[in-house]
Structure 1
């Protein structure tokens, strides 16, 4: 049975390109989610309680965000990536190969939050050219949240 063509006012090649960009954004967001959850489980030291709770708030928010991003990719008619292997190929956020000290966890999460923002910003020229207001709205909200989270994490380092 042939599938129903997608006719949402965005050219097919633009839809596919936007979905590919959102897949990178999803991979960064999911990798940051995993890193934040990992740190939540393994943080130690005098800031334990503060960081344990802060990281939980952050990974909980990210777990909701990845769903919104994946659903936007699906709305554009493309399957969303969802395996470790796919995310590892698409993300710019490095994995940890050991449990960092608390201060390094904070620095790594600042870098991760900022990396997600840069990926989101890089998609705007294409999204604006294609007139994809829904993706622009999603990314604008995500950028605001990641910039605020990065600021809060940086504040712990001062």
Structure 2
């Protein structure tokens, strides 16, 4: 899993969030970034490989979802930087630290949508745990950021499930 971020590695800054709590949140956000990045790639893979009568609807749905995920990747990374830490880098780092596996099981549209829907909820559940950590650290901005992402992810999962 993620290498522990040490408080000494953070840039100095004036903040009501304790340095140790900023390090913890940056680490958790690094894991959320990894999971979001893998989900982004998997969503694109479904988008590119969907076929059949549901093609147009699923193609458009997954396009909207991966575009949203791309924007959220940037938001999460920028929050890590705002907390004074460096963002994790490298695809192998993201795959290793993701809550979901990076492989898409090709099959019919329904099986790909089912997997993507389940993965989306897994990322939402991971973020829900991190909201608790942010609240304990009195990091309200991170808690709000993740809470908003949870809502988007749950809606995305529902849309994927409803498309089956």
TM-score above 0.5: yes
The CA deviation at 1:36 is 0.4
Equivalent residue number for residue 119 of structure 1: 126
Change (3 A) 1:47 1:132: same
**What is the TM-score with the length of structure 1 in the denominator?**
0.92
Equivalent of 1:5, from 8, 12, 17? 12
Q: How does 1:39-54 map to 2 (within 5 A)?
A: 39-54=46-61
Q: How does 1:59-74 map to 2 (within 5 A)?
A: 59-74=66-81
The CA deviation at 1:92 is 1.6
CA–CA distance in 2 between the matches of 1:39 and 1:150? 14
Deviations 1:87-109, CA, capped at 9 Å, x for gaps: 01110211226533211110111
Greater RCO between the two (CA within 8 Å, min separation 6)? Answer: 1
Segments ≥4 residues shifted beyond 3 Å: none
CA–CA distance in 2 between the matches of 1:65 and 1:46? 30
- Greater shift in the superposed pair: 69-78 or 99-108: 99-108
**What is the TM-score with the length of structure 2 in the denominator?**
0.89
CA–CA distance in 2 between the matches of 1:98 and 1:118? 22
Deviations 1:9-51, CA, capped at 9 Å, x for gaps: 1111111111111111111111000000111111111111111
CA–CA distance in 1 between the matches of 2:55 and 2:22? 44
SS of the residue aligned with 1:123? helix
**RMSD of aligned residue pairs (Cα, Å):** 1.5
Equivalent residue number for residue 5 of structure 2: none
Equivalent residue number for residue 144 of structure 1: 151
Change (3 A) 1:111 1:128: same
SS of the residue aligned with 1:94? coil
CA–CA distance in 1 between the matches of 2:74 and 2:116? 20
Query: Is residue 135 of structure 1 aligned with residue 142 of structure 2?
Result: yes
CA–CA distance in 2 between the matches of 1:100 and 1:119? 27
Assess if the C-alpha contact under 8 Å between 2:12 and 2:84 holds in 1. Answer: no
Change (3 A) 1:126 1:57: same
Equivalent residue number for residue 16 of structure 1: 23
